[in-house]
Structures are given as C-alpha cells and as structure tokens.
Structure 1
Amino acid sequence: MPRLIYDYTKSELERVSLSPERFKRKLKKAASNLLPYEIELLHKWLQFYTDNRPELRQCLTEVPLEQKGVC
C-alpha cells in the first residue's frame, strides 16, 4: 500500500511540472507525507527527472533528506 502513495506522488509531480511554483508546493507536501525510505527514493527520482528540466532543479532542496533521518 505505501508504494501506491509514492507512485501517486510521482504522477502528481509530473502533472504539475510545467509550473515550478506548483511543483515546489507539491514537493513540500510529499516530503511531509512520505516515509523516510520513500523520500530517499523520491530524491533519486527527482535527480533523474530534473536532468533536462533546469527550472525544476532548484526544487531538489525541498526534499529534506537529513531532517527525516535518511542520510
């Protein structure tokens, strides 16, 4: 079941990726709702997803890996 939330989060982020502000808001919300290992997966996915989207690269700082105890 938790995998469904992670997958849903990714699809929501893809859907709003045309607007960096909306992307950032959804990313903050996701970071507060996901489990620590899901946040690590999300961070890896974000690095891959934002490779060709420099306007979204700045949003990587919204995923607080250290705060959730992942690193």
Structure 2
Amino acid sequence: MSRMIYDYTKDVLEKVSFDAKLFMRELKKAVKNLLPYEIEHLKKWLQYFTNEKPELRQFLYIVSE
C-alpha cells in the first residue's frame, strides 16, 4: 500500500513541477505522509529529477529536515 503512495507522490511532483510554489507545497505534504525510508527514496529521486529542473533544487532542504 505504501509503495502506491510513494509512486503517487512522484507522479504529483512531476505534474506540478511547472510551478515552483506548487511543487514546494506538494513536497511538504509528501514529507508528512511518507514513511522515513520512503523519504530517503524520494530524496534520491529528487536529486535526479532536479538535474533537469535546477529551479526546483532549492527545495531539496525540505526532504533533508
């Protein structure tokens, strides 16, 4: 079940990545809803994903807290 939430979170973040504020809001929601190990996976995925979208790299601190 929780894998589905993680995958859903990635899908949402990809879809809202056109708007930095919306991306930040969804990322904060994700951190509240995911398990600690899922947050680690999300952090790695975000590092990869934001290579193509450097304007979103500033929000990596949210998953590092």
Give the structure-2-normalised TM-score.
0.96
The structure with the largest helix share of the pair is 2
Unpaired runs of at least 5, structure 2? none
- Structure 1 segment 1-71 matched on structure 2, within 5 A: 1-65=1-65
- Larger C-alpha radius of gyration, 1 or 2? 1
5+ residue gaps, structure 1, are 66-71
Q: TM-score, with normalisation over the residues of structure 1?
A: 0.88
Task: Tell me the number of residue pairs that the alignment of Structure 1 and Structure 2 aligns.
Answer: 65
- For each residue in 1:14-69, what CA deviation from the matched residue of structure 2 results, as whole angstroms up to 9, or x when unmatched? 0000000000000000001000000000000000000011100001011135xxxx
RMSD of aligned Cα (Å):
0.8
Q: State the percentage of identical aligned residues.
A: 60
Flag as ranges the 4+ runs of structure 1 deviating above 4 A.
none
